[in-house]
């Protein structure tokens, strides 16, 4: 197959106007690494294979680093081949690191090592030693977990849950069979654990986010989210950003980078979006998985309907010939160019962004509940920041059901409210904490009953005295929350068959306010919430941020602490949005086009409301548009 790939490559074109001039210098704001799995590294031992294929890759994407994997499945690459490959890359000025995948057979439901087996434990140790002898940096790919349920593992588990057993087991394996033996062989080796994208479920297979980041010198983040619909994981696009931030918050300064593959995409933008979001979260390094996939031909099938309309990823622009430093040109041909082009779209402005900020949301270690929900809220335009410790300093905290894993969570919520702060919990967390102290704050019941709704009533929209009704595009099933009249209040209600239920509910406690957000049974229905409902949720959650974006779901906001922000749309059509900022900001400059937007104050409410609500709005509104699958970068002035 690779021979065939080679034969399709490198048509030099001299006549076409060139839009891109290639220099061998790397990108300004991040390093790019390519990961070569053991099967690829084996091929590097064959005559000319590496030379020819590296030329194809390196002319399309600027790589600074290569990971050479020593072990995957039953393959252990021989030292001679690895040494040859190492020398080749070093001679090109490319940084070299090692990689290990602890699988027995990846293709058989990711069959991992059995760490109850003395033979396999010995093998794991030997692979760590072998790799550490050859490299000063070693990364463990996605499979440093165990899903073995052999007789020995069942016996070793005893009365513990699988989660408890595997968390303890992998902690020990990490210390005793991987890091310690590796350091014994090479005291200078930097051992890095890369975590995959299923963070909500790590503990079930023994990935230990609490102890392993301390055991290893560095961590690394799998930011591949692929297609949110046509994959069995159904990861939301926002996760490529959120998980980077989450792991950075777990090991500040120690999250080495993000890792993206080319799999499971229906249009090329989806690949680029994963790279972009990883970088928007502040990644220092991007790893492109993998060497052979960088050689896959670019498929015309990945051209989308919106390409050719100057969206952030422009298929035709990507296909422009690349002018090399020596004056020759090459025609883009493989996925390496998709990566190179996507990275070039963001390198110019990444240095202008500050530190990412967002609504602090606490997810205790080894917790689960309303799995991956934070990403759906991110997709609704709420800038999220997931943290592993309770963020008592934050003025506003969002808590999903997973917060129930902290046995003192009710006391912590009370502490925030007594201090005059805001806490928003989900209906799922409310349900989990019923009878466990939450009623000490407010007596609510999240029942097992459901309601089906497509109408939402915004009771505080005084433009019509009765409020405004907003329709969702489809029916939404929600849990029914019951409350005691005049003790707590519906902020947003849904209407159905002549009655209604809370969607956003609030209760006073001391000087603070507790909000309960009703989460639809299907999280995807959050995307069907009318824009006006999302706005009201944002008004509460994002009140401490200087910017929010009002519009439909799937328009996302990334906020930085230096008055810069990015608005990115994942919609297939142009979308109108209102950027709402604090009124200390008078103008917005589009960093990419230099266009300057002027804002205006919100429309004056009627006289009778003005009499009632003395305070003038402190917001400015900037009306603008975002193209399909595109981002805009703004600097506040």
* Binding-site ranges for Zn ion (CB under 5 A): 114, 116, 148, 150, 153
Q: From residue 613, how far is each of 20, 462, 466, 504, 607 by CA, in Å?
A: 56, 11, 17, 21, 10
The distance of closest approach from Cβ of residue 153 to Zn ion in the complex, given in angstroms and rounded to an integer, is 3
Question: 155 or 614: whose CB is closer to Zn ion?
Answer: 155
For the beta sheet containing 384-387, the strands, ordered from the edge strand earlier in sequence to the opposite edge, are 384-387, 359-362, 396-399, 422-426, 512-517, 499-509, 489-496, 444-458, 468-483
Question: 82 or 153: whose CB is closer to Zn ion?
Answer: 153
The distance of closest approach from Cβ of residue 151 to Zn ion in the complex, given in angstroms and rounded to an integer, is 8
The distance of closest approach from Cβ of residue 117 to Zn ion in the complex, given in angstroms and rounded to an integer, is 6
Question: 118 or 602: whose CB is closer to Zn ion?
Answer: 118
d(CA 92, CA 55): 11
d(CA 567, CA 635): 11
Cβ-Cβ contacts under 8 Å for 266 (sequence gap 6 or more) = 227, 230, 302
Question: 103 or 329: whose CB is closer to Zn ion?
Answer: 103
d(CA 376, CA 524): 7
Question: 114 or 566: whose CB is closer to Zn ion?
Answer: 114
The distance of closest approach from Cβ of residue 154 to Zn ion in the complex, given in angstroms and rounded to an integer, is 8
At residue 215's C-alpha, the angle toward residues 211 and 219, to 5°, is 90
Question: 21 or 150: whose CB is closer to Zn ion?
Answer: 150
The distance of closest approach from Cβ of residue 194 to Zn ion in the complex, given in angstroms and rounded to an integer, is 23
The distance of closest approach from Cβ of residue 113 to Zn ion in the complex, given in angstroms and rounded to an integer, is 8
- DSSP annotation of 187 reads T
The distance of closest approach from Cβ of residue 289 to Zn ion in the complex, given in angstroms and rounded to an integer, is 28
At residue 359's C-alpha, the angle toward residues 210 and 543, to 5°, is 160
391 Ramachandran zone, left/alpha/beta (phi>0; psi -120 to 50): beta
Q: From residue 485, how far is each of 198, 444, 502, 506 by CA, in Å?
A: 41, 10, 12, 12
E-strand ranges in 319-402 read 322-323, 329-330, 356-357, 359-362, 384-387, 396-399
d(CA 551, CA 541): 16
Which of helix, strand or coil describes residue 392?
coil
The distance of closest approach from Cβ of residue 105 to Zn ion in the complex, given in angstroms and rounded to an integer, is 14
Q: Which of 336, 197, 198, 194 is nearest to 271 (CA)?
A: 336
The distance of closest approach from Cβ of residue 203 to Zn ion in the complex, given in angstroms and rounded to an integer, is 18
Question: 204 or 524: whose CB is closer to Zn ion?
Answer: 204
Q: 397 pairs with which residues across the strands?
A: 360, 423
Q: Which of 80, 77, 82 is nearest to 66 (CA)?
A: 82
Q: Which of 232, 285, 286 is nearest to 263 (CA)?
A: 232
The distance of closest approach from Cβ of residue 206 to Zn ion in the complex, given in angstroms and rounded to an integer, is 12
Question: 149 or 610: whose CB is closer to Zn ion?
Answer: 149
Question: 163 or 296: whose CB is closer to Zn ion?
Answer: 163
HSE toward the beta carbon, residue 141, CA cutoff 13 A: 28
Question: 169 or 379: whose CB is closer to Zn ion?
Answer: 169
The distance of closest approach from Cβ of residue 143 to Zn ion in the complex, given in angstroms and rounded to an integer, is 15
Question: 120 or 427: whose CB is closer to Zn ion?
Answer: 120
Question: 174 or 330: whose CB is closer to Zn ion?
Answer: 174
Question: 165 or 220: whose CB is closer to Zn ion?
Answer: 165
Q: How many residues in the chain?
A: 637
Cβ-Cβ contacts under 8 Å for 74 (sequence gap 6 or more) = 104, 105
DSSP string covering 415-427: HHHHTT-EEEEEH
Q: Is the peptide bond before 284 cis (omega within 30 degrees of 0)?
A: no
Question: 162 or 489: whose CB is closer to Zn ion?
Answer: 162
The distance of closest approach from Cβ of residue 496 to Zn ion in the complex, given in angstroms and rounded to an integer, is 51
d(CA 283, CA 358): 17
The distance of closest approach from Cβ of residue 146 to Zn ion in the complex, given in angstroms and rounded to an integer, is 7
Torsion of the alpha carbons at 538, 539, 545 and 549, rounded to the nearest 10: 60
Rounded to 5 degrees, what are φ and ψ at 582?
-60, 145
The distance of closest approach from Cβ of residue 342 to Zn ion in the complex, given in angstroms and rounded to an integer, is 41
């Amino acid at each position: 197959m690779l021979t065939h790939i080679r034969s399709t490559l490198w048509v030099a074109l001299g006549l076409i106007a060139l839009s891109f001039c290639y220099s061998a210098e790397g990108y300004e704001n991040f390093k790019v690494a390519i990961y070569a799995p053991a099967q690829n590294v084996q091929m590097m031992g064959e005559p000319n294979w590496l030379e020819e294929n590296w030329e194809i890759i390196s002319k399309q994407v600027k790589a600074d680093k290569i990971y050479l994997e020593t072990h995957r499945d039953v393959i252990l690459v021989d030292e001679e081949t690895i040494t040859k490959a190492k020398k080749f890359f070093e001679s090109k000025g490319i940084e070299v690191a090692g990689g290990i995948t602890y699988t027995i057979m990846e293709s058989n439901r990711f069959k991992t090592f059995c760490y109850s087996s003395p033979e396999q434990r010995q093998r794991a140790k030997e692979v760590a030693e072998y790799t550490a002898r050859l490299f000063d940096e070693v990364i463990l790919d996605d499979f440093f977990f165990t899903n073995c349920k052999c007789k020995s593992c069942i016996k070793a588990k005893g009365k513990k849950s699988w989660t408890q057993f595997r968390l303890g087991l992998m902690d020990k394996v990490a210390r005793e069979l991987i890091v310690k033996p590796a350091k014994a062989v090479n005291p200078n080796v930097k051992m890095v654990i890369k975590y995959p994208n299923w963070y909500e479920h790590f503990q079930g297979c023994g990935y230990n986010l609490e102890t392993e980041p301390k055991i290893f010198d560095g961590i690394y983040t799998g930011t591949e989210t692929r297609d949110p619909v046509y994959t069995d994981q159904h990861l939301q696009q926002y996760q490529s950003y959120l998980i980077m931030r989450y792991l950075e918050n777990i090991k500040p300064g120690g999250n080495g980078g993000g890792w993206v593959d080319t799999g499971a995409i229906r249009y090329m933008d989806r690949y680029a979006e994963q790279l972009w979001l990883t970088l928007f979260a502040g990644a220092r390094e991007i790893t492109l998985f993998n060497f052979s996939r960088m050689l896959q031909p670019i498929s015309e099938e990945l051209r989308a309907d919106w390409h050719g309309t100057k969206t952030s990823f422009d298929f035709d622009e990507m296909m422009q010939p690349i002018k090399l430093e020596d004056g020759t040109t090459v025609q883009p041909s493989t996925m390496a160019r998709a990566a190179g082009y996507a990275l070039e779209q963001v390198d110019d402005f990444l240095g202008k962004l500050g530190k990412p900020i967002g609504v602090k949301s606490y997810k205790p270690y080894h917790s689960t509940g309303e799995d991956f929900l934070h990403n759906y809220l991110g997709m609704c335009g709420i800038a999220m920041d997931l943290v592993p410790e309770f963020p008592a300093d934050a003025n506003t905290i969002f808590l999903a059901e997973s917060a129930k894993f902290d046995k003192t969570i009710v006391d912590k919520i009370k502490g925030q409210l007594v201090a005059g702060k805001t806490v928003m919990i989900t209906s799922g967390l409310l349900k989990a904490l019923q009878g466990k102290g939450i009623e000490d704050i407010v007596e609510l019941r999240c029942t097992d009953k459901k309601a089906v709704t497509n109408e939402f009533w915004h009771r505080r929209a005084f433009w019509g005295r009765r409020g405004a009704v907003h329709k969702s595009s489809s029916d939404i099933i929600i849990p029914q929350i019951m409350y005691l009249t005049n003790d707590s209040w519906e902020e947003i209600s849904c209407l159905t068959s002549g009655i209604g239920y809370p969607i956003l509910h609030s209760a006073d406690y001391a000087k603070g306010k507790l909000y309960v957000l009703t989460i639809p049974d299907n999280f995807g229905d959050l995307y069907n919430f009318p824009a006006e409902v999302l706005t009201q949720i944002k008004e509460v959650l994002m009140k401490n941020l200087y910017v929010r974006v009002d519009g439909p779901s799937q328009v996302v906001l990334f906020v930085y602490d230096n008055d810069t922000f990015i608005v990115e749309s994942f919609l297939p059509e142009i979308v109108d949005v209102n950027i709402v900022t604090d009124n200390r900001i008078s103008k917005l400059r589009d960093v990419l086009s230099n266009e300057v937007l002027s804002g205006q104050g919100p429309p004056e409410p009627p006289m009778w409301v003005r009499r009632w609500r003395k305070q003038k709005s402190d917001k400015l509104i900037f009306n603008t548009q975002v193209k399909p699958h595109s981002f805009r970068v703004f600097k506040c002035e």
